[in-house]
Every structure is written in structure tokens, then in C-alpha cells.
Amino acid sequence: MNIYEVNRLSATLIGIGERCSQYLVNAMYLVIGKERAALVDTGLGLTGDLDKFVRKFTDLPIVVLNTHADPDHIGSNALFEDIHLSSRDATLIPWAMGLEARLGDLPSMTGGNTELCGYAKTHIAPEKRFAYTDISDGERFDLGGGCVLEAIATPGHSQGSLCFFNRNEHYVLTGDTIVPYPWLWLDRCAPLAEYAASVRRFKAIVGVGPAMYCGHSIEALSPLVVDDLVVGCEELIAGETGTDKPFKVPYAIDISAMKVMQHDCDQAHIIYNAYKM
């Protein structure tokens, strides 16, 4: 079964989407330098053959760079050897690699696609543990030929969330940190003030106008998202929540001790726990 979508974003950047449903795609990015390639995130691993799929585009050695350690971003890690992620997300890995985490919510993720769910149960990438190297804030991954990815620590969605900035080609791969709908309501998420500081710092580093590609679309984000995220966080911190509305969590997560809400600020829609501001 082929569920991968491809968007050739430039001569050296390929967006790969692991399509779960009409509304959900897990985005991965293959960055091809002269000496090696980087695969940023590895999806849920539904087909168990991502390693073979990316070989359609390059024969170079591949380094995997994870934006964070959620199941839909490290699911195929075990298919690769050279893996890098933030150790601040280390506690998430055993849960995220487990089949229960990657298959349990699949009926919701796929919109009830029984064919895909059935295929994934027999083909999903293995849940075996993998070795990885910690990524430091500011660390540079030189792929050769002037193609360099710089890690930017952006705690928020998870404590170890990272973005990867290509200064020469002026684009950023933002994972689930810089997104129109950031999920900040989970217990493991950083406080809103820390997330807002992350976004401000991100903007200061990348400057104005880089193309931004997030973890759930293989199309570029609106350039307005960054500023709207900052303003939205400032409104929340100031208690400007009068028009916020409840957010319906799509997966089987116990939220009985939470008040999950959505705060809209133009291009940004911040999902937060009103009991943990």
C-alpha cells in the first residue's frame, strides 16, 4: 500500500507526507546535500518501508533528525541507524515507539479507514528501541555542498522540541512547534510563557521571510503564523480568554482533569489547558 505523498519543494528539499486521512498527514522532509542526506522525522511508520521509499530519491548516507519524540514523528526510526534527537524528550521514546501508541488511535487518525488500519497492523515499522545521539541547541549538521541544518531549541509542544534552519536556502522545518494549531495542553508541554519565549527566539534567529514547513503539511505555512502565535500567547497570559471555545480532543486521552480550550488569533489557534497556564 502506498500512502506517501511527495512535494519537491526545491532541488535539495523533498516533502514526504504519510497520509492518514483527508485531514491528517504526517510530514517528513528529506534534505539532500552533496555528501549525505538528512531525513527530518519518520512518521508513524505505517507501511514499514520508509527506508526503502527514501532510497528512490538518494543513495547518500542518511542521518535522521527528529523534531521531537512523539509517535507520529519517530515511528520509523528503527529502520535507520544514524539518529539524532533531543535527550529532553527521552522519557517519551518508550511510549512513542510502542505499537499501542502508534496503532491505538489509528481508527481516529484515518477516519475509520479499515483497509489502512488492517495493513498497518501487519506492516508497521518495528517497535524495537534505537540508539540516538543528543542534539544540542545551535548544533549544525553539514550535509555537504553548503547544505547545513541548524538546530533551534523550541520547547513548547514537548520539552525537547527542535526546529531545523537552512540559512543558505532560507527555510525552516518546524515540527509541531511553529504550526497553526500548536498543542500545548498535554501534561508534558512547556508553560505558555516558555513557549512564547521559544517562538520569539525562533523569530529572532530565522529573521523575516524564510519558508516554513511544519510536521503536518508538506506545503509552506503562512508567514503570519509566527507573529500570531506570539500575540496569541500574550493574550492568554494576560487572561484574554473570554471568546475561547472548548477543543474536542480527537484521541483516546483522559482529559477529565483538564479544561482543553482553543484560543484563536488570526492564523494561530492555540490549544491549551486552562487549568495549567
Say how many CA atoms lie within 13 Å of 276 toward its Cβ.
18
Q: Are the CB atoms for 34 and 145 separated by under 8 Å?
A: yes
Check: pTM over 0.95? Answer yes or no.
Answer: yes
Tens digit of pLDDT for each residue in 102-150?
A: 999 899 899 999 999 999 999 999 998 899 999 999 999 999 999 999 9
Q: Are the CB atoms for 50 and 24 separated by under 8 Å?
A: no
Q: Would you put residue 41 in left (φ > 0), alpha (ψ -120 to 50) or beta?
A: left
Q: Kindly list the domain boundaries of the chain, sorted by start residue.
A: 4-185+193-223
Which range scores top for mean pLDDT: 125-129, 153-157, 247-251? Answer: 153-157
Calculate what percentage of the chain has a pLDDT beyond 70: 100
Distance, first Cα to last Cα, the chain: 43
Average pLDDT over residues 88-112: 93
Which residue(s) pair with 65 in the sheet?
40, 84
Tell me which DSSP letter residue 170 carries.
Answer: T
Tens digit of pLDDT for each residue in 192-237?
A: 999 999 999 999 999 988 999 999 999 999 999 999 999 999 999 9
Query: Model confidence at 154, in pLDDT bands (50, 70, 90)?
Result: very high
4-185+193-223 is classed CATH 3.10.450.50? no
Average pLDDT over residues 258-264: 96
